């Protein structure tokens, strides 16, 4: 009867497997972090658009409505301007995402 030698992994095999895992982590983790940051930025953008839509539906009134709103750690600032080109008042919301990029969304107010 033949008996096999069951010593397990050798040190070289262990180092090789650890180095493969290390290379995978080094190449994939930065991409994963970038994807997670962009996903969060997309959520922030969608919240800004939704807030603008809600304020436009309410009929933004500069005195009674909010000037800024903090939601999930992001400050959304509302401004009311008069657009000379279209001869209408417009409401704009601005915010900064996790990569310090500034966004602005604007919409025209009804009835003015």
pLDDT at 5 over 90: no
pTM score, whole prediction = 0.69
Cα–Cα distances (Å) from 79 to 36, 46, 112, in that order, read 30, 18, 16
More confident residue, 111 or 95: 95
The Cα–Cα gap between 68 and 92 comes to 11
SS3 26: helix
* pLDDT tens-digit series, residues 50-84: 988 888 888 765 554 568 888 888 889 988 888 88
The token duo for 67 is 């000037």
* pLDDT tens-digit series, residues 34-58: 999 999 999 999 999 998 888 888 8
How many other CB atoms sit within 10 Å of the CB of residue 111?
6
Per-residue pLDDT, 58: 80
The Cα–Cα gap between 32 and 78 comes to 33
């Amino acid at each position: 009867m033949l008996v096999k030698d069951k010593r397990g992994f050798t040190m070289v095999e262990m180092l090789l497997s650890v180095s493969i895992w290390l290379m995978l982590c080094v190449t994939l983790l930065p991409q994963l972090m970038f994807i997670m940051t962009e996903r969060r930025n997309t959520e922030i953008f969608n919240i800004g658009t939704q807030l603008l839509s809600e304020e436009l539906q309410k009929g933004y009134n500069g005195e009674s409505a909010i000037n800024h709103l903090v939601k999930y750690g992001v400050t959304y600032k509302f401004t009311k301007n008069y657009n000379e080109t279209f001869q209408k008042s417009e409401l704009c919301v601005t915010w900064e995402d996790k990569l310090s990029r500034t966004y602005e969304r604007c919409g025209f107010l009804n009835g003015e």
